[in-house]
Structures are given as structure tokens and as C-alpha cells.
Structure 1
């Protein structure tokens, strides 16, 4: 039996991974370590929270004492590190929080895991660390790191720390860098749930700039499956890009969802562009395909249809989160879909 420590397991991607792993590895123990910040939602894992092989631990990844206590007492074998501050607009407003959580927190987690001999450490990162692409080409694992926002810079810093722990100490770190995620349980400030929730309420949908920024969209279940492949077969010290082969402009994403909901395009409201807004991200995921045999299951059309249906069926969930969220003047739409606590 393996004991897996998942950091940020109450957030969007982390909670989906907890459910995925427990469904596919019912013999394993899963420890869900999360600080329960604004994006951490215990209801995301309600399906497994009463199982005997599941435990929730409320904690900060920068709390070295608690991390060491958990590593020792629970005899953790594998760490899957999702916990991060991830909202780009928030990072522009206050970079210090992102540096503390994403850089210092990752270093504390790496040190505790090294001290107690963790056999595998998966550091979940983002394609945003690569910066921006032109109209052609793709990010590969050998692309230079060139972050353009405080968020992506803090994630790049955590990536480099993870790499250093492998190179210096031989610690079994593997880094994954995903494209934009979407699917169930995503916090409403992100682009796709924001479009859906606003459209269902017949409210304007704010879109940055001209709406032609391009992202590669990855269904969260495909991301969880890819990480499972990395845990089982990935090589320590390596980086694996995880992409959905689904490039779309933000405007195309908005239009697709409005059509599915039968809502007018007049709901689209263009707003001033974000500072340092990267124009295009696109992932070359051939390494994980060729080495580990992973490919995405969902097309964007199928994935977005399932996602729209989920938000329609769980209207109480996203309405409650919107009501609890701080007032951000209706402007906050993040086109990212990266790991968050």
C-alpha cells in the first residue's frame, strides 16, 4: 500500500486528482494537505472524505514542522505537489504572497520530503513559466524559462528549486508543466467557469483586450491521468509537458460556450488588457506520449460540453462561491487554469 500526500487537494486540479487516484488505486492511502484558502473547497472531495484510507490535514506548505510531522507519522511514499497561488491578476496586485507560497512553500516541502526519504516527488507546474509564443511553434521541455508575470515567475522559481534538489541531492523529483485546465470544481474567477456562470445569469462576460490570446486547453481528467502515468513510469529529474492539443483563442472559447447555452454574443464585453498578458501558449506533449504512452482522451468539444453540463447541474455550488468572493468590480477573468490551493 502506497501513501500519497497531495498538497492543494481541496483546489480545482488537486481535488480532481484525489478523486481520480482513489478511484483507480483504492488500496492506497491519500493524505490531502491544504490550507483552505479562498479556492480550497472541502465539498470538492465529499465523495471520498469518509473513506478509511483518506485523511485531510489543514496546513500551510511553508510550515516545516507540520510537514515533517506528517511525513514521519504517516510514512509518506509519494508527494504530488499542486498547492500554489495561481491567479495572475492577484499576483500583479500582491506578488509577495505568491513568492511566499510558491517559492518558499515549495522549498519547505522539498526539504521535508528529502529528510524523510520520499520515493517520488511530482512537482506540478505550468506552461506559463515558458513565457509567450509567436504565431507558430510549441513549448518543449527544452524551451527556455522566460516568465512574464509575478505568478509565472514564482512558479519558475519553484521549478528551479525542484530541479536543484534533483541535481544537488539526487532527490527523485519530476516536474510536469500543463496547459490550461478546465472541468468540474474550477473556481469561478477562471475564464471558462466565469463565462458559464455569467452567461447563465445573463450578465456581461468581460474579455481582455481583443480576445485573441491563445491557450491550449486540457480537461482536468486528462491532466490527472497524465500525472498518474508520471507517478508510475516517469523518470526522476525529468520534465514532462502535458497538453490537450486544443488551441483556442479566448474569444473562440467564449463563443463556443455561448452557443451551447443559447446565449447571445452581445454578452461579450471587451475590457482593458491585463498587464504583461502573454499572447499565446502551446504545448508539445510528444515526450510524455512517446515515453509514457499518455494521450488526452477528451476533445475540446466533448470536454467543454461535459463541463457546461456540470456547471448547470451544480448551480448552487458556484453561486455560493461567487457570493463569498471579494468584490472585484466584475473585471476579474483569468484565462489560466493552473494548479491552485
Structure 2
């Protein structure tokens, strides 16, 4: 099987004992190295209210990374549109494209709508759903675990307060499809309302590549397909629903001026080291880190393996993160590449996006380098 392009998703993780400034400098350094290793894209995430992740403002970090690199595409994975207007997004990425023309990817994700839908489900306002799967299954060699229920996190008072702080008082998140259409129109210079046209500088005519990110067979996949846009599916965030997500996107796809056929990118969490045992050692804290997110606290600074072993997860805590542990690809370059090849085949992905978190920056750089050397042969 011919290797597909390989790209990187970076959360700018903050290791225990470190700080945000060091994490961001590490991300810039990793992007430089990723370019030399042969990676196709370097995307940064958007996360808020976490001690362990420093990528709170994607457009700012993208600008720093683009300035430090020459060729690699740089983008967002993803800008959460519920926190910003279409205009502010187009202007921010238009400014970046004006300085770094043709290198920018604008990945969009839903945010505010997810909370509304989850609260409706809790209150019984949502349509009845089928009972979720409780057993893992294997599809074409790929492990598909039972789905994780995020409603308890979204409905927590802490999450509600944080969501409120990300918007102006009284503001409501607009429909995702409308935001996507507004971004496309503002970029194309075709936006008009009530007979009045508006034009945006910078932003209009920008050569940014528009992507939609999604974790399920929901609106994101539908919007990406109907508008003929590339779609990024999150195996690393929601491994239980990746097949439904890409399937729904493909079934909804309509050719556009952007694509004549569907284009799917799929993400995975990986840790690569020279030996399997060393890779497993580096991945030891991963369960603790995921648990901090799923318990509603927000991502903690990534522990050292020794710190993780000193406070082992309880059986209940382990169960909360088991799906993520089971679907993290950990091992030698050949072992991880084999897992990625299975993921690619099962999803028929056109490109893969890998994310890696280790405590030491040098181990993270080495993980990406070892994988690239094996993959790009």
C-alpha cells in the first residue's frame, strides 16, 4: 500500500514543571523540524481553560509557526466557530494569508451548538436515540471501542461558566452551516445582505484552504459533504464514531469548485520510540492526562512516567479512558506505521494526521522523526 501524506496536530502541551512559554517555543521548534522531516501540514488545536495545553489562540500561534517555517502548510485543527464571528475568522486568516500566501489551512469545528444539543438531550428535548454500543468491535483490523458519553462534561457548572466566558453576554452560537457559508462568501467577495454587499480586507480573495473537522455522523460531516469541502475525522478524540463520520461525509458529498471527489483526513494519537518498551514508558501518563479532561477538570500538565506511576488510576478512572488507551498507537516505527496503515485502509483516508504528547520535548520530536523516516520511504 502506498503511503498517504502524513501531517501533525499540535496542542502545544505543557509538561509538568514547565510553563506555557516553553510549550509554545517547543511547538515552534517542532514545526521547523516537522518541515524537514517531510510532514505535509502542521495544525494547531484550540483549547481553553486548561493548565496543560497552551494552544488557546490558533491564529496567533499559526502566525508564529508560519514565520518560523518556509514550506509546510500551517493551519487550525480547529477554530471553534461558536466563539468567534465569521468576519473575525476571515480577517484573522486573511491577514495571515496576506503574509504567507497559499500556505494556510482554515479548519473549522462546531462548539456552542454541541453544548445546546447535549443539554437538550439531558432534558429529554432531543430525539430518542438508539442505545449506545457497550462492546468493542473490530472493522477491517481497526479497533472501534464503545462510544463515550460527553454530556456529563458539557452539562457541568464549570463547563457552563467557561462557555459563557468565551462569548459576549447574551450571545448565541449561530448555526454551523450558516457560519461556514458566511466564511466562504466573505472570502469569495460575494457576501450580501438586504441588498448591501460588504468586502473584507484582509480576507477577501485569500487562498486559505477550508476544512471541516468532525467526530460523528452529524452536522459537520453533512456540511463538509454538501459543500464539497475536505473533511477531517477524529479517531484520536472519538474512535467509536470515526467510521460513521467518514461514511456520512462521503454519502453527503457533492462535487464543488474545490473538490471533484471526497477528501478525508483521519487523526490518530501515536507515540514512537526505538523499542516498544520505551514507547510504552513514554505513553504511561497518557491515561492520567485524558482522565483530567474527561473528568471535567481540563487537561493537566502532562506528567512524567514516574509521576503517573506514583498515582495509578483507579478501576473507575481507568474505565473512563479505556477507549482512548486502547486506540493510542504506541510502539516502534514499524509497529505504529502498521497501525496507521490499518486506520488508513479501514477509513479509506487520503491523508493521516498524527498527534503525540510526551513529557520531554526531545522525546516528542524523536517520535515524529522516527515515524517520518519509516513512513516516507
- TM class by smaller structure: 0.3 to 0.5
The structure whose Rg is larger is: 2
Higher RCO (CA-CA < 8 Å; seq separation 6+): 1
TM superposition score normalised by structure 1: 0.37
